[in-house]
């Protein structure tokens, strides 16, 4: 723990100095090198990125992606979820406007009860959202009597879309629910993600 604390301080110092060759930055770099040697050179790059927001040019592409690849997107999504949790009226969501054709979307499927379109901020080569036309704010607010068949239909639509997108190696289905589930739009939606190897745990 002492090593990691010192590393954190050293990296913070180098970050504030923007890697200029001052006496202090060189000293901090030396401290960082010593800690690296003591830890066997196995410093987690995710820790590096969080400690000092290391500029991309200071890491290899692989290290940068591992360290900070989705951290900013995740942070933005969580912030949006917290903000959206304050108002859960489905009539005010962007999805209801897509259903009413008030705003455009790349629609890939539509039937009497559902609509599917490509996410404008895809997290995978294939990222499609499947939504009910009925304004259900979130999964936990669906009712057993009225919505069971609709929920099954949404999953079936996602399955058929996965087939049409030729996701033969697999895919992931995600439903975010509420603030802790990072739900940023309070209109029930099913994420279909595929076209790359998914990681675990999801976050």
Going from the C-alpha of 136 to that of each of 48, 102, 156, 169, 190, the distances in angstroms are 41, 19, 18, 31, 12
What single string gives the DSSP state of each residue in 88-157? Answer: --GGGSHHHHHHTTSS---EEEE-SSEEEEE-SS-SSSEEEEEEESS----GGG--HHHHHHHHHHHHHH
Would residue 187 show up in a list of annotated catalytic residues for this protein?
no
The whole-angstrom separation of Cα 7 and Cα 17 is 15
The CB density around residue 58, as the number of other CB atoms within 10 Å, is: 12
Q: Which of 127, 187, 189, 191 is catalytic?
A: 189
User: Which residues belong to the active site?
Assistant: 189
């Amino acid at each position: 723990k002492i090593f990691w604390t010192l590393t954190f301080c050293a990296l913070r110092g180098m970050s504030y100095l923007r890697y200029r060759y001052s006496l202090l930055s060189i000293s901090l770099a030396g401290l960082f090198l010593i800690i690296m040697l003591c830890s066997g050179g196995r410093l987690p790059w995710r820790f590096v990125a969080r400690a000092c927001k290391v500029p991309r040019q200071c890491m290899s592409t692989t290290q940068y992606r591992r360290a900070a690849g989705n951290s900013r997107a995740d942070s933005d999504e969580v912030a949006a979820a917290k903000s959206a949790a304050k108002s859960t009226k489905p009539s005010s969501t962007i999805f209801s406007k897509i259903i009413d054709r008030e705003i455009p979307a790349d629609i890939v499927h539509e039937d009497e009860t559902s609509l599917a379109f490509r996410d404008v901020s895809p997290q995978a080569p294939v990222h499609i959202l499947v939504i009910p036309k009925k304004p259900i704010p979130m999964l936990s607010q669906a009712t057993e009597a009225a919505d069971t068949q609709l929920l099954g239909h949404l999953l079936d639509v996602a399955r058929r879309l996965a087939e049409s997108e030729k996701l033969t190696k697999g895919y992931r289905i995600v439903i975010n629910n509420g603030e802790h589930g990072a739900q940023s739009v309070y209109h029930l939606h099913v994420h279909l993600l595929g076209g790359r190897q998914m990681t675990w745990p999801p976050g």
